[in-house]
Structure 1
Amino acid sequence: MEVDVFSVAIVDEQPVSRAGMEKLVSDDPALEVVASVGAIDDLPHTGRDAYCVVIVDLPAHGGGRALEIISRVAGIGRPLVCASWEQPPTLLATIRAGARGCITRHTEQTAVRDALRIVAKGGFYLCPRLVGRFQTELTRQADDDPSGLAPREVETLRWIALGFTHAQVATRMGLSQATVNTYAKRIRAKLNVSNKAELTRMAIELGHLTESRQTYPAA
């Protein structure tokens, strides 16, 4: 009886852990490693849905870069994300960016294989170790942002992403421009971005900006 074999790509900047994942995947007859690289830019792009599943080990202190990696991976395969989850991005932000599964670096090998099979078949997998954390994120107050932004920082991010200058944001929020400048600096640090284009992208990924951007013209 012929068994379906699912193609797996591995993205991990750590050679030792990448080799371990290669071994884990190769030991499962239903899984086949077709690519193993240290960075997303090194992953062969052979078209959309090129891989059944792409397991991505998020770099430490990845911030906004981590969400960008997940979004890019989602265009060529189903992302199964592995991280410590002790720093951003959160589980919710990761899922919003396109992840189809989330595991930790301490997830049991059998569970990792289960996760790979489930994601490869089009399902969603959450490591049991992460269930409590995920429930906590879901039950946060509505004004508590999963990226770690304070409510006023979220508001500032929205205005900036909509095209307003810091002076215009200050007027609309009833703040001094110096305070808005401080908020903007904190936002860039928390999201690990360096310019307005990246801020706008992050605002969209985090669900703070919708298609109705022309509702509030900055002019």
Structure 2
Amino acid sequence: MTAVASVEELYQRADSYDVVVLDLPHLSTAALDAVAKVATVGPPLVSSVWEGSPTLLATIRTGARGCISRFAEQRDVREAMRVIAHGGFYICPRMVGQFQVELAGHTEEEQSGLAPREIETLRWIASGLTHAQIATRMGLSQATVNTYAKRIRAKLNVSNKADLTRMAIELGHVAQKRRITPAA
């Protein structure tokens, strides 16, 4: 294992790597450039908080072979490195929901005006989770989830969890559960 302080140091060594772990506290266009550069010397595993833009999908399109949350468990980091070193692709379990939203396309985002992470938060709220539980599942702070919830309420013009759940169902973000009652 080799640790370097910058992407440029990777090129000075003129080696190829089984996996290159990039810890990017905040993603930006410059960070995506770093992912693309790293991909030329080894498959990148990107660790970030994954809030806002660029998205997971944009990072993968740039050349990342795996994406993990900065809050990922050690076993998930080890598994990601193992999978990538053997030629596979890895998404952190905490981020699967976000990735699915992004893969579904921007039609959902355009319909409701919600960003992918807001849609994911709305789904968890509609599922009955608390903000603390949502924060744990999404690998975010509770303050970030609170901010997402405020933005969602403002964008959908609703004021409580019951209305959020109703809107999630109406917008197709949550399947409506049907009760089957026996005939009398």
**Bin of the TM-score, shorter chain as denominator length:** 0.5 to 0.7
Q: Could you tell me which amino acid in structure 2 is paired with residue 90 of structure 1? A: T
Give, in angstroms, the shift of residue 59 of structure 1: 3.9
3-state SS of paired residue (2:43): strand
Match of 2:16?
Answer: 50
Q: Normalising by the residue count of structure 2, what TM-score does the alignment of the two structures yield?
A: 0.55
Task: Indicate the structure with greater strand content.
Answer: 1
Match of 2:4?
Answer: 37
Counterparts of 1:98 and 1:43 in 2: how far apart (Å)? 16
3-state SS of paired residue (1:43): helix
Task: Indicate the structure with greater helix content.
Answer: 2
Matches within 5 A, 1:72-111: 72-111=37-76
Residue 124 (structure 1) aligned with residue 106 (structure 2): no
Question: Where in structure 1 are there 5+ consecutive unaligned residues?
Answer: 1-32, 146-219
Matches within 5 A, 1:171-182: none
Conserved? CA contact 2:35–2:62, under 8 Å: yes
Counterparts of 2:82 and 2:93 in 1: how far apart (Å)? 16
Counterparts of 1:126 and 1:115 in 2: how far apart (Å)? 8
Give, in angstroms, the shift of residue 142 of structure 1: 5.3
Residue 70 (structure 1) aligned with residue 17 (structure 2): no
Counterparts of 2:59 and 2:106 in 1: how far apart (Å)? 19
Conserved? CA contact 1:57–1:81, under 8 Å: yes
Conserved? CA contact 2:19–2:43, under 8 Å: yes
Match of 2:149?
Answer: none
Q: 1:105 to 1:59 in 2, by over 3 A?
A: closer
Conserved? CA contact 1:111–1:127, under 8 Å: yes
Q: Could you tell me which amino acid in structure 2 is paired with residue 73 of structure 1? A: V
RMSD: 2.1
Between Structure 1 and Structure 2, how many residues are aligned?
110
Question: Where in structure 2 are there 5+ consecutive unaligned residues?
Answer: 111-184
Give, in angstroms, the shift of residue 42 of structure 1: 2.2
